[in-house]
Amino acid sequence: MKKWYAVIGDPISHSLSPFMHETWFRENGLDASFIPVHVEPSDLKQAYEALLILGASGFNVTLPHKQAIIPLLGGIDDTAAAMDAVNTVVRSGKSFNGTNTDGDGFVKSLLTMKPASDSRILLIGAGGAARGISFALKRGGFEDVTITNRTYRRAEELASETGSKPMMKAEAEHRLGDFDIIIQTTSVGLAEDEALPIGLQNVRPGSLAADIVYNPIETPFLKRAEEEGCRTLNGVGMFVYQGAIAFEKWTGIKPDTEKMIQLITEKLGGNYVNR
């Protein structure tokens, strides 16, 4: 029987997940569909029950449901529990189980830049995205992680949970040259917002600047970092790899990520290359 998958969120119309997964279904000869479903917060429980009854084989969860979905699920794995957020749901008989592929998706993208495992890493931000990435960096064998954030208390809390070091933003700005990899996870950096989450004047040329934002494909943070002589990595890879890990959990097949990064980059209207 034809299988079907979904992504639920509010808003949802701009999601690139249906394009990505349907392309991978086609490439791998699978008879399956992937449907965007607009679900408002007040309808989440009913939508969840509908997905269950109507036989979805799995689905992605995006904003604002990543936490609210948890009590509805049959269970969640350790990764989702540590992050207190779910982005991928897999059917198990008559229930659904949750996991989270965002952090590992980022780390897989980072690995394409061939970083040394003893790289000194600065993570900017202490919200949900930073949380997932800091746990995944540890799982990926990156031990030297420092967290800085506008609200220092949140950096301290996240650092103590993940065995990382907190640093005040002013000190991180001053000592930016000490880091090999700088990862920007805050919501600063979206198209209209020219502000930077951290001043880059002390960055070391040749270090790697990574942004989790993929639309725009080149954020003000990455533009500025490139001007300072940094290598750069945008958020397209993270988006594609979080989807690829979900796809493999659903189908057992590893999809073609390299080609998808190109396709998504083209869809976003650019020819940006990570370098």
Q: What residues are annotated to the active site?
A: 66
109 is in an annotated binding site: no
17 is in an annotated binding site: yes
Q: Where are the beta strands (DSSP E) in 120-160?
A: 121-124, 145-148
Evaluate whether 8 touches 39 at the Cβ level (below 8 Å).
yes
Tokens of 78: 């350790």
Task: Give the SS3 label for residue 35.
Answer: strand
**Sole binder of ligand ATR in the list 45, 120, 138, 150 (CB under 6 A):** 150
Q: Is residue 56 a contact residue for ligand ATR (CB under 6 A)?
A: no
Evaluate whether 138 touches 144 at the Cβ level (below 8 Å).
no
152-162 vs 128-139: helix crossing angle, rounded to 10: 30
Residue that has been written with the tokens 């957020």 in this structure: 85
**Residue type at 59?**
F
Selected range binding ligand ATR among 53-61, 69-77, 94-102, 123-131, rule: CB under 6 A:
123-131
242 is in an annotated binding site: yes
Selected range binding ligand ATR among 32-40, 148-156, 213-221, 267-275, rule: CB under 6 A:
148-156
Closer CB to ligand ATR, 44 or 212, in the complex: 212
Q: Report the site for ligand ATR in 160-199 (rule: CB under 6 A).
A: 185-188, 197
Residue 106, burial from CB neighbour count under 10 angstroms (0-12, 13-18, 19+): buried
> Which residue stretches of 54-121 are H helix?
78-83, 102-111
- d(Cα 90, Cα 82) in Å, to the nearest integer? 18
Distance of alpha carbon 147 from its chain centroid, rounded? Answer: 17
The least CB distance from residue 241 to ligand ATR, in Å, is 18
Selected range binding ligand ATR among 4-12, 15-23, 98-106, 144-152, rule: CB under 6 A:
144-152
Q: Is residue 244 a contact residue for ligand ATR (CB under 6 A)?
A: no
**Sole binder of ligand ATR in the list 45, 154, 174, 204 (CB under 6 A):** 154
Q: Is residue 7 a contact residue for ligand ATR (CB under 6 A)?
A: no
Residues that bind ligand ATR (CB under 6 A): 125-130, 149-151, 154, 185-188, 197
Could you list the residues known to form a binding site, using ranges. 15-17, 62, 78, 87, 102, 125-129, 149-154, 212, 214, 235, 242
